[in-house]
């Protein structure tokens, strides 16, 4: 809802209701002695800056394992954390402290000016004087000209996300041990990273930030290369009931194109949602920012659960190659044929 000549835009009533509900939950939790903490997510950066991502939550107490790590719990527990709106978070990086403010959903997504060497680096975040937590950011060197952006649901992980009941089961009930990786996708992404040392890996999904810890463990367990994770919030915005997943993806793709004007991205998705349409629009807007597009075709049973496939367009006249296959091995073979993965062996 846009601002009017008579004053600022009104916030959607559902967004106001959600905020009041979370504020009530937070007051109750704090009366019980619980405090806010920062949940960090992998970010990325470039020469002179980093994008730090995390979320401020009041979390329920969880049992701990013998090694001190939090016990692995089913996905629904990550949804019961209470977001702390507009919390002030201290980000420490490069020997300097920066105070940043989380958004209404407790999400920290901020750019900090700092010079860090290329590769994975560590920053810390703390809130309300609590113990700092470590977050990782991947800093891209200035001479890197290739990167990978991959969807998650039905691209690296079989979830059948468009079906609400199945999506709810996957998100709230099933833990990461029960989630199924798409065959060959970890090998494909590992080959891409090995063929382009220093290239950024970005997992861009319409999934909620609540599933980030589960997703991070899933990627590590199934040997996917480490990368930045960019998710969204299922909650309402100032002018609509729920956020647009398509706009979330386009906004982040456009941001990557602006932040890394010399990088050409391999875009990986599937034909069960809107990835092809999103990538087509981004390619039309930033033709010099795309190296190729790889679309994973859902298997017949997956397509039924996902509500069908999106009919593919003819991309033979596009300036960049489009390839498609049913699994990572097929995509790796076709990307090798068009020269996107130089020197790799599709059989390994």
| 216 compared with 121, residue with greater pLDDT | 121
- pLDDT tens-digit profile of 299-312? 765 554 455 455 55
User: Among candidates 209, 263, 258, 256, which has minimal Cα distance to 231?
Assistant: 209
Query: Would you tell me how many other CB atoms lie within 10 Å of the CB of residue 32?
Result: 8
Q: Scan for tokens 């300097």, then name that residue.
A: 96
pLDDT in the model for residue 181: 93
Contacts 24+ apart (CB under 8 A), 210-216: 210/78, 210/79, 210/81, 210/171, 210/234, 211/75, 211/78, 211/171, 212/39, 212/41, 212/55, 212/78, 213/39, 213/78, 214/75, 214/78, 214/175, 214/176, 215/152, 215/157, 215/176, 216/41, 216/42
Is the domain of 115 the same as that of 198?
Answer: no
Is the domain of 95 the same as that of 172?
Answer: no
pLDDT in the model for residue 198: 96
- pLDDT tens-digit profile of 226-243? 999 999 875 544 434 345
Q: What is the mean pLDDT of the chain?
A: 81
Is the domain of 157 the same as that of 275?
Answer: yes
Q: Is the pLDDT of residue 94 over 60?
A: yes
pLDDT in the model for residue 3: 43
> From CA 317, how far away is CA 150, in angstroms rounded?
23
Is the domain of 322 the same as that of 268?
Answer: yes
Is the domain of 150 the same as that of 100?
Answer: no
Q: Is 8 helix (H, G, I), strand (E, B) or coil?
A: coil
- pLDDT tens-digit profile of 168-204? 555 555 556 567 899 999 999 999 999 999 999 999 9
What angle is formed at CA 99 by the lines to CA 121 and CA 133, rounded to 5 degrees? 45
> From CA 223, how far away is CA 202, in angstroms rounded?
15
User: Is 3 within a domain?
Assistant: no
Taking residues 104-127, what's their average pLDDT?
95
Domain around 73: 13-26+35-139
The DSSP symbol for 35 reads -
User: Is 275 within a domain?
Assistant: yes
Number of domains in the chain: 2
Listed residues 117, 139, 161: the one ending a domain: 139
SS3 of 282-303: the string is HHHHCHHHEEEEEEECCCHHHH
Token pair, residue 179, equals 């989630």
- pLDDT tens-digit profile of 53-84? 999 988 766 554 444 344 444 455 556 678 88
- pLDDT tens-digit profile of 14-50? 556 656 766 667 567 667 767 788 999 999 999 999 9
pLDDT in the model for residue 10: 53
> From CA 40, how far away is CA 6, in angstroms rounded?
40
**Which string of DSSP letters, residue by residue, matches 189-252?**
HHHHHHHSTT--EEEEEEEEGGGHHHHHHHHHHTTPPP-EEEEE--S--SSSSS--HHHHHHHH
Q: Do residues 340 and 268 lie in contact, with contact meaning Cβ atoms separated by under 8 Å? A: no
């Amino acid at each position: 809802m846009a601002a009017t000549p008579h004053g600022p835009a009104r916030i959607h009533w559902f967004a106001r209701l959600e905020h009041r509900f979370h504020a009530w939950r937070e007051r109750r939790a704090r009366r019980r002695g619980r405090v806010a903490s920062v949940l960090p997510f992998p970010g990325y950066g470039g020469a002179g800056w980093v994008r730090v991502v995390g979320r401020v939550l009041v979390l329920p107490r969880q049992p701990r394992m013998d090694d001190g790590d939090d016990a692995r719990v089913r996905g629904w527990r990550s949804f019961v954390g209470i977001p702390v709106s507009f919390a002030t978070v201290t980000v420490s990086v490069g020997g300097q402290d920066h105070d940043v403010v989380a958004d209404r959903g407790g999400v920290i997504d901020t750019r900090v000016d700092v010079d860090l060497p290329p590769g994975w680096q560590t920053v810390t975040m703390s809130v309300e004087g609590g113990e700092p937590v470590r977050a990782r950011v991947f800093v891209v060197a200035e001479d890197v000209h290739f990167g990978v952006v991959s969807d998650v649901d039905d691209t690296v992980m079989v979830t059948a996300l468009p079906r609400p009941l199945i999506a709810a089961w996957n998100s709230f009930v099933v833990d990461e041990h029960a989630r199924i990786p798409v065959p060959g996708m970890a090998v494909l992404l590992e080959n891409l990273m090995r063929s382009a040392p220093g290239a950024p890996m970005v997992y861009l999904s319409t999934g909620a930030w609540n599933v980030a810890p589960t997703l991070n463990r899933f990627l590590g367990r199934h040997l996917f290369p480490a990368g930045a994770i960019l998710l969204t919030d299922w909650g309402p915005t100032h002018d609509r009931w729920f956020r647009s997943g398509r706009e979330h993806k386009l906004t982040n793709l456009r941001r990557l194109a602006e932040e890394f004007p010399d990088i050409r991205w391999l875009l990986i998705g599937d034909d069960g949602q809107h990835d092809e349409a999103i990538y087509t629009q981004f390619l039309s807007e930033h033709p010099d920012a795309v190296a190729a597009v790889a679309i994973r075709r859902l298997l017949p049973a997956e397509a039924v659960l996902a509500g069908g496939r999106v009919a593919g367009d003819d991309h033979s006249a596009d300036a960049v190659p489009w390839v498609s296959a049913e699994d990572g091995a097929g995509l790796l073979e076709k990307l090798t044929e068009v020269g996107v993965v130089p020197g790799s062996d599709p059989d390994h």
